[in-house]
Structure 1
């Protein structure tokens, strides 16, 4: 702590950066690590593992086909109206941005008098009763009052109601073929993307697990993280700059069926790629990614402080990250951070990353347009991302599955590696059930066949005929035989 404070003080006096912004040297340069120059002078470390596996033909004609038919309407007040048009569509939902259901909304009502027409007025919900009462009074006047003037009809006396004009309307109509992705198929690739302060090493348990199962895995270090290069300009760490890096990495290693796994800030890059390459993204996993809101940096944040001040506070920030990112704060968790090179970035990079999270396109509509199956994994003890945000994300997405781990927090892939690996593997192997083909109905229905057999029995055994049906007393007192109704064909 004292060393960090002295270095920060010298930084403020000399006006120089307290951190030497250079890439960290990797200790295993030949164990599946590659260095990719995405732009001149911008080099990213990538771990790429191609396991030894038997040659298996690509699956053809497997899996189920899901029809994605959706109409999304956005109004000027931010209200979202989602209409599912598929066969399995649920009821129409009209939601606010905070997730609460809004049964009624303000409507534009045009009131027209007998002689003069007034401009359209917006009436709030609280005045709906008065509008109804006005309608009743108009109806009464039309019945008992004077006759309408020439050229006017009864419809002109009633208010004409129309919905307010939507700001934007998006229609989605496509079909996706979703199949199980096995590790023995050479057309499957798994991409792991970490968040702020992490590195590719936080995915160590997942990389080992899936590579042993025969999957090809790719995971990069973001710029300024791990062993990737760290430019000294703030513009190098904006969302769009980092997203472009991930796009180039994806184009380099993509296969026919690609699965994206993102954590925290990395989920936003996965969403970006799913929009850019919808046909190549087969499935996606969001781990503690938060809600479907547009990104913008916070004005009142500790990361807005000067770099030298952040360097002085780096021990405090590391302790805060340990407390908020892990359900337990023991020696094991501290060792996990040290071994996996997590939250080991310079103050300059950390400040630039937090201030560069500006992505206005990533709103609810942007996420609602995704048609890829998505698994949401949330740690119950996460203090960075509330569970309500992931619940809202699951409501907005078309095909989403939310799984909550009670023993995990923000770094759930490091705390509960076995549970996370199991969830991911089950989701990767999941495919929708193929609906059975409808059988052609026979010419004779079962009910008809049963009735015919009953008729045969009734004819052959007259003693079983019900007395109330078989016998009927006539008006003259005699008894008349009447056949059973079931015996009629």
Structure 2
């Protein structure tokens, strides 16, 4: 008789894991089928099991029966007051014109600000930082910029701007006169014109400053746990950090009404959270859908928002739910497809799909929402005010972080955002995807920290040219004659050169 070979432990664990996955899929399918037959919701919409009170967590009732979990860390650190003489003042002057054909033109009228913005990286740049785009603001370079047709190179190379004598390089005069013709036609019937004229004082935000608070806002399907590395890092640096769970996510309450998950309902929650914890200088950090809430807060509280970070947030377009979308299917059908959604999110949200990434999703409670909440969140993304003009009105310095392998948000959208915003940096990380804060936490923390510590250098005011320049030139030539004996030949040579 042949002896049976013992089952190897590795193959046995793989067998059990496959059985667990199959059982989960069958359970999900049976629950969805039961939902369709009984017309009852397949998901019990309640907070997850991690809702017990712990150190650093608070539960805030933003409305009666609407409770959000918030992680609030106030580290013990020596408080240092901000010196009054530090920080740079940036002039924000621009004219935004929207024409009836939908084109947007921006005239930057303020003093040059992009020169100081180049000093965002305090030290050597990261090896994975491949793209950096800045929008020039200069009185000398104020031609109309057709942003819908502008490329990345035209924006990045436009920092120097054309000179006063007329253009850069040997451009023919005929070409210069032909380019402004289309804007002149559209200028006759502007649909909307917005003029911005203000000054912002931008200073370094250190963890020892008591008036600095960092707000972290996650996106659809996430939770405050996805910011775990960032919250721990910046709290150790001495920063006060705030990270809420959106309604229906994490350990926050999840109402069974679809209207509770519209953009305006969630934005009102973030507004109340901001009012509760805000200080003098507040920095907003948003990811994906959370970027829209950060933009909303920057408009609502322009004097209190000091800086902002957008991580894989997409382009500056108004939000409108898609009519033909898989998320418009009934809740019970979505519940049956939940394993497929989790698998697709893992494939599209991470640059690599291994056991480490699966563990990150499970550990950080990402994409662990009910099908009812997921359906309501996707169908409630209606925000018509958040168009290009809405974003172009922002005067706060903004850092854009994008993962190169992001399949949810293409890099073109963040490049478009960098063109529209007044003061923006775009950092594209080669080894990251949509969940870049989980994939490369150290690099993201370094980029954010350098941005928090950055402050523009206040340039001295330009000296006005005096009308008596020829006389001063003569005086200088006379002094050279006095102090140099063999200068009898110099006047003749000077005449020849002139």
| TM-score of the pair, normalised by structure 1 | 0.80
CA distance 1:96–1:37, shift in 2 (3 Å) = same
- The aligned residue for residue 143 of structure 2 is 92
Which residue among 412, 419, 423 is the counterpart of 1:388? 412
Q: Deviations over 1:139-192 (max 9, x none)?
A: xxxxxxxxxxxxxxxxxxxxx988431111111000000000000000000000
Match of 1:457 among 463, 467, 484: 484
The yes-or-no answer on 1:336 pairing with 2:387 is: no
For 2:91, which of 67, 70, 95 is the aligned residue? 67
1:51, 1:216 within 8 Å by CA — same for their partners in 2?
A: yes
1:2-21 → structure 2 map (5 Å cutoff): 2-21=26-45
Counterpart CA distance in 2 for 1:456 and 1:94 is 53
Counterparts in 2 of 1:3-402, with a 5 A limit? 3-26=27-50, 29-88=53-112, 89=138, 90-95=141-146, 97=148, 99=150, 163-402=187-426
Shift of the alpha carbon at 1:468?
Answer: 12
Structure 2 portions without partners, runs of 5+: 1-24, 113-137, 153-177
Question: Between Structure 1 and Structure 2, how many residues are aligned?
Answer: 413
- Deviation (angstroms), 1:77: 1.4
Name 1:138's counterpart in structure 2.
none
Q: Which whole-Å deviations, capped at 9, do the CAs of 1:386-421 have from their partners, x for residues lacking one?
A: 000000000000000000000000000000001100
Counterpart mapping for 1:374-453 below 5 A? 374-436=398-460, 448-449=475-476, 451-453=478-480
Counterpart Cα distance in 1 of 2:186 and 2:409:
40
Alignment partners' CA distance in 1, 2:358 and 2:494: 85
In structure 1, list runs of 5 or more residues that go unmatched: 102-128, 133-159, 470-483
- How far is 1:300 from its partner? 1.2
Q: TM-score, normalised by structure 2?
A: 0.78
Contact 1:78 1:96 in 2 (8 A): no
Q: Measure how far apart 1:55 and its partner are.
A: 2.5
Quote the Cα distance in structure 1 between the aligned partners of 2:490 and 2:445.
71
Q: CA RMSD in A?
A: 2.8
d(CA) in 1 for partners of 2:39, 2:294: 38
> Quick one: higher RCO (CA 8 Å, sep 6+), 1 or 2?
2
Q: CA deviation at 1:376?
A: 0.3
- Note the C-alpha offset of 1:360: 0.2
1:457 and 1:46 map into 2 onto residues whose CA distance is: 77
